[in-house]
Structure 1
Amino acid sequence: MNTYETINHVLVHLFNEIWELEEKAIITEEYKDISNNDMHIIEAIGLGEGSTMSVIAKKLNITAGSLTTSMNSLVNKKYAVRERSEQDRRVVHIRLTKKGERAFYHHQEFHRKMTEAVINCLGEEELPVLLKTLDKLSEFFREYPIEQGEKKE
């Protein structure tokens, strides 16, 4: 395999492997009632005072409408709660419950271990190269046209 084929093979398989392993690692007996996607919504809600549906949707790069069904499920399963703002009753904040916070930390721990595994096997001079490479890959995803001929804004 030449360099192009090798990099292509690694990238394609890496994304699938991360998604599959993450699901196996984070959807344990305690969290069997939610999906990997739900865990990423929990991550987007974050810790603290909470956030609005539009802010959470923006973090996930989806519409608030697309988020509604999953959010209803997380509220019903007691991972999150909806609370009306005291300042503006039209605004609804979503925040994690204690159960949701435990799920958040559980997911965060998987990411910590994954990141440390990469960092620990590289030398100090290799880290800037990896950071630059990952930044360029991230830039590619942010700018990739959604449909033929469209530039993502």
Structure 2
Amino acid sequence: MQRINQLLTIVYTDILRVEERELKKSDFKDISVKEMHAIDAITMYEHKTSSKLAKELMITPGSVTTMVGNLVRKGYVVRIYGEDDHRIVRLGLTRKGRLVYRAHDLFHRRMVAKFIESFNQSQVEIIEHALLNLRAFLEFPAHIDNTKE
């Protein structure tokens, strides 16, 4: 179990480091990995609200507001105001945002393909199940004791 913990930590750190390095080498060096993940969460296919984005990224609405403001200023994201109700604001990607979204998506598709290349379908399903267990653990932090002593 300790070895799996070490490997998960190493792989997580390595992925972030590679993403950061690739962003700095690219035409998109003006954004951080966190901003890249916000662009990824906004997606090209759905116009999400800031509150939905905050929930998906598991960060505060205030952090999303700041991040979105920066991404709008940098030309990656646009705010889309509702036609019927201008209080409803959805987020979309600009052409520049769609370009970086596609580049990031390609990186992840290649990474996953490499990760599972030597596994059969049954083994891939076991990995998927283990990752879903981990995700459920992280989404519902029952492992954290919030009681005050």
Q: Is the 8 A contact 2:71 2:77 kept in 1?
A: yes
> Structure 1's 130 and 49: CA in aligned 2 closer, same or farther, altered over 3 A?
closer
> Structure 1's 49 and 5: CA in aligned 2 closer, same or farther, altered over 3 A?
closer
**Partner residue, 2:138:** 141
Q: Is the 8 A contact 2:23 2:29 kept in 1?
A: no
Q: Is the 8 A contact 2:23 2:31 kept in 1?
A: no
**Mapping of residues 59-74 of structure 1, within 5 Å:** 59-74=56-71
Pairs aligned (count): 147
Q: Could you tell me how far apart the structure 1 residues matched to 2:140 and 2:45 are?
A: 31
> Structure 1's 72 and 146: CA in aligned 2 closer, same or farther, altered over 3 A?
farther
One-letter code of the match for 2:15? I
One-letter code of the match for 2:70? S
Q: Is the 8 A contact 1:25 1:110 kept in 2?
A: no
One-letter code of the match for 1:96? L
- Give a deviation string over 1:2-57, Cα, whole Å, max 9, x none: xx332222122121112112222344330001000110110111114522111111
**Partner residue, 2:32:** 35
Normalised by the size of structure 2, how large is the TM-score? Answer: 0.88
- Give a deviation string over 1:107-141, Cα, whole Å, max 9, x none: 10111011101121213332222122212211221
Normalised by the size of structure 1, how large is the TM-score? Answer: 0.86
**% identical equivalent positions:** 34
Gapped regions of structure 2 (runs ≥ 5): none
**Mapping of residues 1-153 of structure 1, within 5 Å:** 4-48=1-45, 50-145=47-142, 147-149=144-146
Gapped regions of structure 1 (runs ≥ 5): none
Q: Could you tell me how far apart the structure 2 residues matched to 1:127 and 1:117 are?
A: 12
